[in-house]
Amino acid sequence: MSTLAVTIDRALNNIGQTARGVLRETVNAFDILPMSDEERLSAIATALAATAIIHHGRHVAKFLDAVRIWSLEAEGERAAPVPYPECAQAEQVSEAAELISTGTAALLDALDRDGVRLEDRVVAELALYTQLLGRSDLHTVLQTFGAVADAVASPGFRAGYLVRVEVCAWTPVGRDADLAAVPTLGIA
């Protein structure tokens, strides 16, 4: 069984230079945006939810599970986050989500034009979101997917609606804590 990095490298070699360039440009353009962690995660969640709804129809849950698993696996290889001011603004989140969504659509168009195999197309799309989310810690990735899951499960959700991810501080639970009073965070 191959590692995640080997799987991604193999697929990126198979998708062609144009699609690789689109993927790289999308991640780089997003990386230079001066946003808080909360804004970054909200933008990624907004674009991810829209991508799942628009491009994966009946397979939304499977697509989101794959991105979540890959992002958690990539979490160990993340770079240190760049510090940004902590002031969430819906306009910045919306613009950043649009950048990711446009990049995703351009990536899928390039892959389709080049006749890339379905397996490599899926890996390339997963690689885009894995690169964006894999830089976050385990708790933050799970918070992001909780927000995305809640959004896409909502009957009124449409692509383009903002998905807010609240980054909250958390501390480990002590041995003497009353577990019935501890809120569930989604991690063990």
| Domain boundaries, position 134 | 4-181
188 domain residue, yes or no: no
Tens of pLDDT along 120-131?
888 888 889 888
Write out residues in the chain with pLDDT < 50, as ranges. Answer: 1, 78-87, 187-188
Q: Which residue bears the tokens 């903002």?
A: 162
Helix (H) or strand (E) holding 129: helix 118-133
Question: pLDDT tens, 62-75?
Answer: 988 888 888 888 76
Is 186 a member of any domain?
no
The tokens for 162 are 């903002």
Is 131 within a domain?
Answer: yes
- Prediction pTM value: 0.75
Task: Report pLDDT for 82.
Answer: 41
100 in a structural domain: yes
Q: How many other CB atoms sit within 10 Å of the CB of residue 125?
A: 22
Task: Give me the pLDDT at residue 143, please.
Answer: 86
Tell me what pLDDT residue 17 has. 87
Asked if residue 160 belongs to a domain, the reply is yes
The reported pLDDT for the residue numbered 1 is 39
**Residue 187 covered by a domain:** no
CA atoms within 13 A on the CB side of 86: 3
